[in-house]
Structure 1
Amino acid sequence: MIRAALIRPRLYRDFMRSEDLSPSTVRAAAWLGEQIGAFEALRGHRVTKWQGSEWALRFDDESDEPAQFDDPEVPCVQAIELIAVVEGQDPVCFWAPQDDEGFGLGIERRHWTRRHSGGALRSRESLPLPTGIVERVEVRVEHSCISEVAMQVGGVDILLVAGEVGDAWGELLQWHRFDEQVLAFPNASDADQIDWVPPRPPGPA
């Protein structure tokens, strides 16, 4: 895991190569730096609750079978938006915006607007993730995207990954990184046991 404090100099060195100083590149570097800072700013604050809009693991809109949101082989919450209710502050929304390199984690301050549950979507007022003081925040950047963020919340190590888990035409569940969902692992070490596509770089969570 690359510590966020060490990322910014690398970001600007990598982004600001002499062959590419276009306005869009400069904006991308600035935005990424702001996002890292916003994640870091969570340190020391108390998360009292998690909310969000889950995306199904299995769903067939041509079948009468209900969408499947839970599976014993899936040790995480999959959400199109994940909200951390923060004591004394506006809630924090984690999502997965897309850029030229794929999907990465994003963060913004906003209240959750409960979505209509149905089909592949399920809105939940309370999600099973640890609460308490955010004691540690570490950010991993790959291909100019924030691929994952590790946090210690209430003494528990959790991990957020930009990705998606689901079945492919009835096959076994497949795990993809750089995809459009937020995968929230209440036990960060569980992510180490998964066969990711593309492979996840080694390193501490």
Structure 2
Amino acid sequence: MTDWRSLWDAVVASDVSTRDGLGWEFTNRTGAPAWAVFREDGGPFPVFSAARGHIMPSADDLAAMTREAVADLLAAAGLADRHGWITENISAALLLASMSVESWEGVEWALESGPDDVAIAWAEPDAARTPYAWLRAIGADASAEVSIYQDGTLSGLCFIPTVELRLPELDSGSLRSRRGIPLVRGPINQVEVVYDTVVEGCQGGGLVSEVLLHGDHASTLLIAAEAYSRHEWHLFDESVVALTEPTTADALAWIPERQRWPTRAVPPESVRASRPA
């Protein structure tokens, strides 16, 4: 397989030009921006990000570029990844910035259940947050899945398929199938991935706890958490909680208290203006 360097150039670390911080900027031979991967350290924990440029490399090149950049940025921060799994998981999340999402589907958890696992409360259609066992973003020629992985007693967001995820033919108990879930659609221009290195109880050095997806007109925040009831939500737990208004996450109650982090997203108007006509 041809190495990505045969077609693309990379500017690494503090020599990057488009923004402050440490990162990798990828361009074609004429200097047109194609892809960028950064690590931001201005908050309580590292936040990795990826953004598309004027042109899009092939899927294989994008994956190789992203893995190499993430591995380098983890190592530069002294963040151990002995088995390479964290690099793969962060990279898979960042690669959503190369997708154009047509629809979302998944399996939703009930907010409350009674005896015999009978659901007694579901999130309302306009709810600020909704818990899912897993989600799938569906594009024209690709899809991406997000579920949960375990790290000791904690749970994080998993973007690496480990089992085949299928919608059940019949709903039962505290789970129900969902199609046409109203999350961000169209081109995903940027993705930000929280790698929480300060949470207590993590055995792997850090946890992929939140992912923020930026589209042209909307954003979606995904958080590893769980609804113990409609009014009690625990972070680092066994659901993928989706918020269609990410800014509301700061105002909602979480157990333990959620740490805020600064997003460095480029406004959608700037991203659209950078695309070729």
Q: Report the TM-score when normalising by structure 1.
A: 0.81
Specify whether residues 77 and 175 from structure 1 end up closer, same or farther in structure 2 by C-alpha distance, changes over 3 A only: same
Matched-pair contact (CA < 8 Å) for 2:97–2:191: yes
Residue 151 of structure 2 corresponds to residue 99 of structure 1? yes
* 1:3 matched residue in structure 2: 47
Corresponding residue of 2:253? 195
Structure-to-structure mapping, 1:54-73, within 5 angstroms: 54-62=108-116, 66-71=119-124
Aligned equivalent of 2:211: 149
Distance 1:58 1:73 in 2: 17
| Shift, 1:71, TM fit | 4.2
* Partner amino acid, structure 2, of 1:42: L
Q: Deviations over 1:16-45 (max 9, x none)?
A: 4xxxxxxxx611xx1111111111112132
Report SS of the residue matched to 1:104.
strand
Unpaired runs of at least 5, structure 2: 1-42, 50-68, 198-205, 264-277
1:52 is aligned to 106
Q: Per-residue displacement from partner, 1:74-108 (whole Å, max 9, x unpaired)?
A: 4122100111102211x211011101261000113
Task: Identify unmatched segments of 5+ residues in structure 1.
Answer: 17-24
The more displaced of 78-87 and 195-204 is 195-204
Larger Rg: 2
Q: 1:173/1:97 Cα in 2 relative to 1: closer, same or farther (>3 Å)?
A: same
Matches within 5 A, 1:44-193: 44-62=98-116, 66-71=119-124, 74-89=127-142, 91-100=143-152, 102-108=154-160, 112-115=165-168, 116-143=170-197, 144-167=206-229, 173-193=231-251
Report the number of matched residues.
189
> 1:129 and 1:156, CA in 2 relative to 1: closer, same or farther beyond 3 A?
same
Structure 2 counterpart of 1:166, one-letter code: Y
Could you tell me which amino acid in structure 1 is paired with residue 92 of structure 2? A
Say which SS state the counterpart of residue 213 (structure 2) adopts: strand
- Kindly indicate whether structure 1 or structure 2 has the higher relative contact order, using CA contacts under 8 Å at least 6 residues apart: 1
CA contact 1:135–1:155 (8 Å) conserved in 2? no
- The alignment's C-alpha RMSD in Å is 2.6
The answer for the alignment partner of 1:26 in structure 2 is 82
Give the residue type in structure 1 aligned to 2:228: G
- Residues 72 and 124 from structure 1, CA distance in 2 versus in 1: closer, same or farther, beyond 3 angstroms? closer
Contact preservation (8 Å) 2:88, 2:160: no
Q: Which range moves more in the overlay, 99-108 or 178-187?
A: 99-108
User: What's the CA shift string for 1:45-90, capped at 9, x where partnerless?
Assistant: 2000000000000111258x7431124894122100111102211x
SS in 2 for 1:150: strand
Deviations 1:131-181 (A, max 9, x none): 1100110010114110100111232121000001232xxxx6211110010
> Does the Cα contact within 8 Å between 1:101 and 1:145 map onto a contact in 2?
no
